[in-house]
Amino acid sequence: MLRIYHNARCRKSREGLQILQESGKDFETREYLKEPLSEKELSKLIGKIGIKPAKLVRKNETIWKESYKGKDLSDSEIIKAMVENPKLIERPIVETENEAVIGRPPSNIQKLL
């Protein structure tokens, strides 16, 4: 089953959602700002993408700049920051049972279809 971690206020996330809708495949939508991920869920998702946690952070967000930028943070501290501040999570993310991609550019989602 496909799942998209979605923020309806984000243009790229809406584009990713549209790609899934047009694919005709079954998928579920999780609005992660309304239903935040746990540390375990986020760690597993990062593992599926195959990146370091810092690569999933939206570094232009004010909360990042004011509270975290320039600090030497461990992977677990970065994950904790994203769990506590879901706006920091890059979007959209689409996952399958075994892998996941960041939908930036939205064409990355095609890799899972």
35-94 residue pLDDT tens: 999 999 999 999 999 999 999 999 999 999 999 999 999 999 999 999 999 999 999 999
* pLDDT for res 27: 98
CA distance to 23, 24, 35, per residue, from 89 (Å): 25, 27, 13
The residue type found at 111 is: K
Could you tell me the residue ranges of all domains in the chain?
2-112
Sorting pLDDT into bands at 50, 70 and 90, what band is 14?
Answer: very high
What is the mean pLDDT of the segment spanning 13-33? 97
| pLDDT, the chain, mean | 96
Active site residues: 10
* pLDDT for res 95: 97
Give the fold, CATH level 3, of 2-112. Glutaredoxin (3.40.30)
Is 1:27 a contact under the CB 8 Å cutoff? yes
The Cα–Cα gap between 94 and 83 comes to: 18
